[in-house]
């Protein structure tokens, strides 16, 4: 599978996980708020046991919902739904064996619906589990990875273009870069920041430039992590701002460097580029990357939460600086 198709599928699994979460929420609320209606529709309104069971199932659904809606690890929570389905099917089987007539017809319909839902749950659980194995997809195993991000900056296109075209500015906001040095009109030498890969560096050349509109570049020679990038600058509809559209693609090797890069991008590779562009916006609009006590290290702030407490830094902490 191509990396992009794999990514689409992961998105679809996340989306479906969330969808199932909302469904659990709806079911849980219905079973708790109107248990008698649920019992009638299911054809078990003649049983005293069901009076106790339906609200319990409702509580269980709320637990599924909380997990699926709030956790990033959809796989474990999707499996809890599969287990729940198995419980429901068993209970329905017992109920079916004891009933006839219209109650049996209603029970059969509900059983059919639950069986169909079980298939979706199983599929989601299996795919979510597989997704976890893949980790950040191509980054973990080596392969190519494409990232896109966009932001709007309240400065004219000419200014945003000029800032980016001076490639030596890139490390002020791009977390994975330590330094970019211009070596010619279109050539430059890029050095990675340690978390991305210690001692990783590469030469790059600009492959296309349209002043005020577009810049594209690619690594040249024997780069450790061959990569290409492009950025487009589009006037925003407000007449004062610039939309910045960035595409980066990496050919991630196997081995130690590949591992470091995979670790750098983590579970959500897009987050890195989104944050890069937030910092670009801060630098251009306010002059600097904004620091807080919880996240005092600007682009070296690696972890959003938990971070250091929102409490002033001691002299020692300030002198020590960010963890590499």
Partner 1 sequence: MRANTWAGRNKVEVRDVPDPKILNKRDAIVRITSTAICGSDLHLVDGYVPTMQDGDVMGHEFMGEVVEVGSGVAADRLRVGDRVVVPFPIACGACAACAAELYSCCENTNPNAGIAEKMFGHPVAGIFGYSHLTGGFAGGQAQYARVPFADVGPLKIESDLTDEQVLFLSDILPTGYMGAEMCDIQPSDVVAVWGAGPVGQFAMDSARVLGAAKVIAIDKEPYRLRMAEEAGHIPVNFDEVDVRSRLLELTGGRGPDKCIDAVGLEATHGSAHIAAYDRIKQAVRSETERPHALRQAILSCRSGGVVSVIGVYGGLLDKFPAGAWMNRSLTLRTGQCHVQRYMKPLLERIERGEIDPTRIITHTLPLDEAERGFEIFKNKQDNCEKVVLKP
Q: For binding to partner 1 (CB under 8 A), which residues are involved?
A: 25, 28-29, 59, 62-63, 65-66, 70, 152, 154, 238, 241, 271, 274-275, 278, 281-282, 285-288, 290-296, 298, 301, 304-315, 318
Q: The tokens of 215 are what?
A: 């810049």
Considering the complex, state which of residue 18 and residue 181 has its C-beta at the smaller distance from partner 1: 18
State how far the Cα of 182 lies from the Cα of 308, in Å rounded to an integer: 36
Neighbours of 76 (CB within 10 A): 14
Q: Least distance in Å: CB of 136 to partner 1?
A: 16
Q: Least distance in Å: CB of 63 to partner 1?
A: 7
Q: The tokens of 19 are what?
A: 């969808």
Considering the complex, state which of residue 102 and residue 314 has its C-beta at the smaller distance from partner 1: 314
Q: Least distance in Å: CB of 205 to partner 1?
A: 32
Question: Three-state SS for 280?
Answer: helix
Considering the complex, state which of residue 97 and residue 310 has its C-beta at the smaller distance from partner 1: 310
Nearest to 2 by CA among 145, 174, 162: 145
Considering the complex, state which of residue 108 and residue 295 has its C-beta at the smaller distance from partner 1: 295
Considering the complex, state which of residue 216 and residue 313 has its C-beta at the smaller distance from partner 1: 313
Q: Least distance in Å: CB of 15 to partner 1?
A: 15
Whether residue 146 contacts residue 248, with contact meaning beta carbons closer than 8 Å, is answered with yes
Q: Least distance in Å: CB of 59 to partner 1?
A: 8
The b-or-e profile of 137-164 (16+ CB within 10 A means b, else e) is: bbbbebbbbebebebebebbbeebbebb
Q: Least distance in Å: CB of 210 to partner 1?
A: 25
Considering the complex, state which of residue 12 and residue 304 has its C-beta at the smaller distance from partner 1: 304
Dihedral of the CA atoms 263, 289, 229, 262 (nearest 10)? 0
């Amino acid at each position: 599978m191509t990396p992009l198709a794999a990514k689409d599928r992961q998105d679809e699994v996340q989306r479906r996980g969330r969808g199932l979460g909302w469904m659990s929420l709806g079911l849980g609320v219905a079973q708790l708020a109107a248990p008698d209606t649920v019992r009638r529709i299911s054809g078990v309104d003649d049983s005293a046991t069901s009076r106790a069971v339906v609200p319990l199932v409702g509580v269980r659904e709320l637990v599924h919902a909380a997990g699926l809606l709030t956790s990033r690890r959809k796989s474990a929570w999707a499996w809890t739904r599969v287990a729940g389905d198995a419980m429901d099917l068993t209970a329905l089987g017992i109920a079916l064996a004891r009933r006839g007539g219209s109650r049996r017809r209603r029970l059969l319909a509900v059983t059919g619906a639950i069986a169909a839902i079980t298939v979706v749950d199983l599929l989601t659980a299996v795919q979510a589990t597989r997704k976890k194995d893949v980790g950040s997809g191509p980054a973990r195993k080596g392969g190519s990875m494409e990232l896109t991000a966009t932001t709007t900056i309240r400065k004219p296109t000419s200014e945003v273009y000029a800032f980016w075209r001076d490639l030596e500015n890139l490390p002020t906001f791009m977390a994975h870069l330590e330094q970019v040095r211009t070596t010619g009109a279109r050539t430059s030498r890029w050095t990675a920041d340690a978390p991305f890969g210690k001692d990783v560096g590469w030469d790059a050349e600009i492959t296309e430039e349209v002043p005020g509109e577009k810049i594209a570049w690619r690594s040249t020679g024997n780069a450790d992590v061959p990569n290409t990038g492009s950025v487009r600058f589009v006037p925003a509809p407000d007449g004062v701002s610039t939309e910045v559209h960035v595409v980066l693609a990496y050919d991630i090797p196997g081995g130690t460097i590949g591992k470091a890069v995979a670790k750098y991008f983590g579970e959500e590779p897009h987050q890195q580029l989104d944050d890069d562009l937030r910092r670009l916006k801060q630098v251009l609009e306010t002059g600097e990357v904004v620091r807080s006590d919880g996240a005092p290290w600007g682009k070296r702030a690696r972890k959003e939460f938990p971070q250091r407490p929102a409490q002033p830094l001691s002299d020692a902490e300030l002198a020590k600086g960010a963890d590499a």
